[in-house]
Amino acid sequence: MVKNSIFSFFFFVGIVIISLFFLPTLFLPNKIVLFGGKVMGYWAGFCLKFFLSTKINIKGKENILSNNKFFIASSHQSMFETFYLQTIFNSPIFILKKELLQIPIFGWYLKKIGSISIKRNKITKDNLSFFDDISKIVSKSNRPIIIFPQGTRVLPTERPEFKKGVSRIYEELNISCQPIAINSGYVWPKNGSKSSNKTITISILKSISAGLKKEEFLKILENNIYSELDNIN
């Protein structure tokens, strides 16, 4: 309990300090702002290791796509992956719920780095143009888009069906998908206390090439990620 409180205090204070330090960069080129995101990712990793004695294990680095455009589909159990994946990949562009962009400072940062927002479970004018927007972004940028196909953070033991939006993105973009399985919920759950002396495994799976039917892609993606989560949990 004491470790949990110390971790939470130093982590969130650190994030606030980093955010305030990089606040002036909101008026500067994106490269500088994106570096701030990496700093937050490294800070998250440091706090987990130092205060909770967490080991962070990265599997499958050899599977990372480097020469072609791709998008990332990752399991989502905690805040960890939102921060730490920025240290592994080239400043990914997040697809996230619109409410996050309304948070002072943090939301400004998300807008500045090009995050794509969507109103979940609602049909809006913005949502209807969503796929056109991401197609334009992908064509102009070398940064990969990242989406959490479970739709929200889930418990480590939960296995909800993946949202069909990820298969629509796969079909519309016609690029490879980089699946990732992360068991972070056992250390940093969406609810409750954090755990110490455990290992977070980030498993970067073999990519799924473009060209499959979206229904087949969704089935393969869900099976690959959940099978890997069963192995690393």
Q: Tell me: the pLDDT tens digits for 78-89?
A: 999 989 999 999
Q: Nearest CA to 115 among 94, 141, 143?
A: 94
pLDDT of residue 191: 84
Side-chain-side CA neighbours of 53 within 13 Å: the count stands at 5
Q: Nearest CA to 103 among 193, 16, 43?
A: 16
Asked if 101 contacts 110 with a C-beta cutoff of 8 angstroms, the reply is yes
What's the CATH fold of domain 55-232? Glycerol-3-phosphate (1)-acyltransferase (3.40.1130)
Check whether 124 has a pLDDT greater than 90. no
To the question of pTM greater than 0.95 for the whole model, the response is: no
pLDDT of residue 120: 57
pLDDT of residue 66: 82
Domain regions of the chain by residue span: 55-232
Residue 48, burial from CB neighbour count under 10 angstroms (0-12, 13-18, 19+): buried
DSSP state of 208: B
Calculate mean pLDDT across residues 94-106: 75
Q: In whole angstroms, what is the distance from residue 212 CA to residue 231 CA?
A: 26
N-to-C CA span, the chain: 23
Q: Tell me: the pLDDT tens digits for 147-206?
A: 999 988 999 999 999 999 899 999 989 999 999 999 999 999 988 889 999 999 999 999
